């Protein structure tokens, strides 16, 4: 699905060759500062490499329209961004940004359930706790039903049991809908439990 | 209606007594602003005296070249003043956008005003051209200055929201929409507020000047209304050009957010 060749980004990443398979759960692990987030950002063209190429299903990324790509390859940043407004506004904003049709409140509530967030849709979103915001941001991304999820530490602010629960649901969802999931995680446990394909990065290189 | 009372030398000197009074107050209150007050007073006096003589010369020697030089100097000063006033760093590209918006925005409003509203002949008559140009350029400069800081600070402070919007598949336009609207809003607000207070809270400078020089208040008001509409037009046009072109300088061809590191 993704193929990287001789990739260089500043002094952060230096990858000779890497492939990421389609329809699988890929976990990226490594110490902080090793370049995991940078790798994710390269995959949806939030940044462009200084050298080398990234191919997506055979097409070089530089030939693809960034906005179109990001609508299919959606990234969830590590620090959740909450936009002004309610929980509902925040769930729908991804669909609005990507110009996709909006969904019913029922569907929004189902998504909240999927990310184990017991909140009313009309509640103000900025009042949520860190972990709740993280789950809200995840719910927003799930609603967009992208082909590929790029998740940067999606469960970093959650306790272990909630973490397991949510990642399990997410992995099941992806398997069922044959979506690809690429997830940066600090937790070896999560990676070994759920990862079908594990990439370890050390000092910007693939181990 | 009488003409204006010419001020004699001693009358002018007596006006400076206000500054002397101010100097006494700041010295008495131990506010360390004496130097600034003196410099300000001297600069104001010298600049106005020189401008006065320049205007007299221009009015006596009506020539399109002179008028063009004056407007060029005005625009240049205004543009560099915007750069200087900004507390945030402005990228080279954004500076170009500022210059372009100022020149195109103020010039199109000015020519519309002179040729369609006032129907000035010749178009370069400095007696109308220069004061009207000054008002349009000055107000647009203030507007854009406010817009610049809102836009640059907004992009810096809300970088995370803009980036997240991009990650969710937003176009740069959508991702920066609220910042752009906010910048436009804060840039035109002072002009709207001054329209609201006009005639009640304060008598605008141009109208006051015309009334002092013996023009009927009715004529003075006609001019004031017309110039106020011209100012609103010029400020809005300049600022809309600026924000619409300006937000693009924060994104590259790949629709990535590029911020200059401070």
Q: What is the pLDDT of residue B179?
A: 96
Q: Is there a contact between B206 and B224 (Cβ–Cβ < 8 Å)?
A: yes
Measure B262 CA to nearest chain A CA, in Å. Answer: 19
The residue of chain B nearest to residue A83, with distances taken between CA atoms, is B161
The residue of chain A nearest to residue B177, with distances taken between CA atoms, is A97
Look at residues A115, A80, A83 and name the one whose alpha carbon lies nearest to residue A97.
A83
Q: What is the rounded average pLDDT for all residues in chain B?
A: 92
Burial B166-183 (b: 16+ CB within 10 A, else e): bbbbbbbebbbbbbbebb
Measure B182 CA to nearest chain A CA, in Å. Answer: 14
A residues 136-195 near B, CB within 8 Å? Answer: 140-141, 144
Q: What is the pLDDT of residue A186?
A: 85
d(CA B234, CA B109): 5
In this prediction, residues A105-131 reach a mean pLDDT of 92
Q: Is the pLDDT of residue B262 over 50?
A: no
Look at residues A175, A145, A194 and name the one whose alpha carbon lies nearest to residue A22.
A175
Q: Is the pLDDT of residue B260 over 70?
A: no
- Do the Cβ atoms of B170 and A48 come within 8 Å? no
Tell me which DSSP letter residue A148 carries.
E
Cα–Cα distance list, A38 to A60, A152, A153 (Å): 18, 10, 13
In this prediction, residues B42-57 reach a mean pLDDT of 94
Q: Is there a contact between B162 and B155 (Cβ–Cβ < 8 Å)?
A: yes
Helices and strands per DSSP (H, E), number in chain B: 10, 0
The first and second tokens of residue A97, run together, are 């940004």
Q: What is the pTM of this model?
A: 0.86
Q: Is pLDDT larger for residue B201 or for residue A15? A: A15
Q: For residue A46, list chain B residues with Cβ-Cβ distance below 8 A.
A: 163, 166-167, 256
Q: What is the pLDDT of residue B1?
A: 52
Q: What is the pLDDT of residue B163?
A: 95
pLDDT digits (tens, 9 = 90+) for A35-73: 899 999 999 999 999 999 999 999 999 899 999 999 999
- Do the Cβ atoms of A46 and B166 come within 8 Å? yes
Q: Is the pLDDT of residue B201 over 80?
A: no
Choose among B165, B174, B255: nearest Cβ to A66. Answer: B255
pLDDT digits (tens, 9 = 90+) for B221-254: 998 999 999 999 999 999 999 999 999 999 999 9
- Do the Cβ atoms of B167 and A71 come within 8 Å? no
CB atoms inside a 10 Å sphere around CB A105: 11
Nearest-10 crossing angle of helices B9-28, B34-60: 160
A133 — contact with chain B (CB < 8 Å)? Answer: no
């Amino acid at each position: 699905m993704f193929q990287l060749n001789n990739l260089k980004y500043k002094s952060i990443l230096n990858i000779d060759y890497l492939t990421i398979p389609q329809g699988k759960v890929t976990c990226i692990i490594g110490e902080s500062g090793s370049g995991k987030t940078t790798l994710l950002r390269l995959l949806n063209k939030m940044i462009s490499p200084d050298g080398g190429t990234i191919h997506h299903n055979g097409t070089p990324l530089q030939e693809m329209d960034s906005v179109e790509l990001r609508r299919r390859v959606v990234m969830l940043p590590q620090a959740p961004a909450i936009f002004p407004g309610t929980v509902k506004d925040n769930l729908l904003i991804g669909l609005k940004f990507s110009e996709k049709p909006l969904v019913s409140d029922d569907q929004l509530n189902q998504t909240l359930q999927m990310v184990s967030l017991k909140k009313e849709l009309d509640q103000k979103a900025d009042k949520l706790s860190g972990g709740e915001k993280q789950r809200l941001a995840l719910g927003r991304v799930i609603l967009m039903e992208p082909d590929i999820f790029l998740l940067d530490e999606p469960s970093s602010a959650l306790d272990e049991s909630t973490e397991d629960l949510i990642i399990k649901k997410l992995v099941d969802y992806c398997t069922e809908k044959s979506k690809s999931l690429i997830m940066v995680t600090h937790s070896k446990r999560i990676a070994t439990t759920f990862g079908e394909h594990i990439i370890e990065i050390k000092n910007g290189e693939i181990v | 209606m009488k003409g204006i009372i010419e001020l004699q030398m001693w009358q002018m000197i007596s006006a400076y007594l206000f500054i002397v009074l101010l100097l006494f107050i700041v010295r008495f209150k131990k506010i360390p602003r004496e130097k600034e007050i003196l410099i300000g007073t001297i600069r104001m006096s010298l600049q106005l005296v020189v401008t006065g003589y320049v205007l007299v010369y221009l009015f006596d020697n009506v020539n399109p070249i002179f008028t063009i030089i004056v407007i060029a100097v005005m625009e240049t000063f205004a543009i560099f003043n915007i750069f200087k006033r900004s507390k945030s760093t402005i990228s080279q590209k954004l500076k170009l956008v500022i210059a372009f918006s100022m020149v195109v925005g103020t010039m199109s409003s000015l020519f519309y005003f002179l040729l369609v509203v006032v129907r000035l002949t010749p178009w370069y008559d400095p007696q109308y051209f220069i004061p009207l140009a000054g008002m349009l350029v000055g107000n647009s400069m203030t507007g854009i200055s406010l817009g610049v800081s809102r836009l640059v600070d907004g992009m810096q402070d809300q970088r995370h929201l803009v980036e997240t919007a991009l990650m969710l598949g937003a176009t740069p336009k959508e991702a920066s929409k609220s910042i752009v609207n906010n910048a436009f809003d804060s840039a035109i607000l002072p002009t709207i507020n001054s329209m609201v207070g006009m005639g009640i809270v304060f008598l605008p400078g141009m109208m006051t000047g015309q009334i002092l020089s013996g023009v009927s208040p009715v004529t003075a008001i006609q001019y004031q209304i017309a110039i106020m509409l011209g100012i609103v037009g010029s400020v809005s046009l300049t600022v809309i050009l600026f924000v619409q072109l300006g937000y693009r300088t924060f994104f590259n061809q790949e629709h990535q957010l590029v911020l200059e590191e401070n």
